[in-house]
Structure 1
Amino acid sequence: MAGLLNALFAIAVVTVGLTVTSLDRRVALVLGATGSTVGSFLAWVVAPAAWSGAMPWVASVLGTAALVAGWSAVRLYDGVFAPPPEPADDTGTVATTRR
C-alpha cells in the first residue's frame, strides 16, 4: 500500500510541477498527468519487485518528459495541423454544347 501511495504522490507532484511552470496550464496538466501515470504504470509492469523508493518518481519524470517530447515533435511538424491542399481549379475552361 505504501508503494501505491508513493506512486500517486509522485504523479501528483510531477503534474503540479509541470502545470505551475508552464505557460499553457491546461495542456501541461493533461501532459503531466498522462505522462507520469503511464510512466509509473509501465515501470510497475516491467519491474514490480523494484517498486519501492525512488522508482515511481523516476518513472513519473521520465514518462512526462517522453510525452512532452512527443507532443513537441508533433507540434513542430506543420503538416499535422494544416488543412489538405485544394484541388486544381479548372473553372477557367469554357465548354459549349449544341442542342
Structure 2
Amino acid sequence: MPANPKHLTKAIHQRMAKITAAILGGYLLTTAVHLALATWLDKGTVLITSTYTGFILWVALMIIAFLGRNGWKTWGIYLLLTGFFSILVYVNKIYFTVETAL
C-alpha cells in the first residue's frame, strides 16, 4: 500500500537535509555521545558496550531525523548536541590535565 502523498516531502532540499542528517548527523552525534561517556566513565566498558549501543543509538537518530518536518532543524539540533558533547570531552581533558599537572 503506497504512502499518502500529502505526508511526503516534496522539496528536494528538505529530503536531502533529512537523509544527510539521518546518516551523517546521527553518526556524528552517536560518536560524540560515546566519546563523552568514555571520558567520564570507564573507557574499557564504554568501548565494549559502544559496539552495540552505538548502532542502536545511530538507528534511533536516523528514525528521529525522518519524523521531523524540517530537515534543517534536525541538522541544527544534531550539530548543537554534538557540540555540547564535544565541549564536555574538552572540559574533561582540561580538568584532568590541570589536575595531573598539580
Mark the structure with the bigger radius of gyration.
Answer: 1
Give the TM-score category using the shorter length: 0.3 to 0.5
Structure having the higher helix fraction is: 2
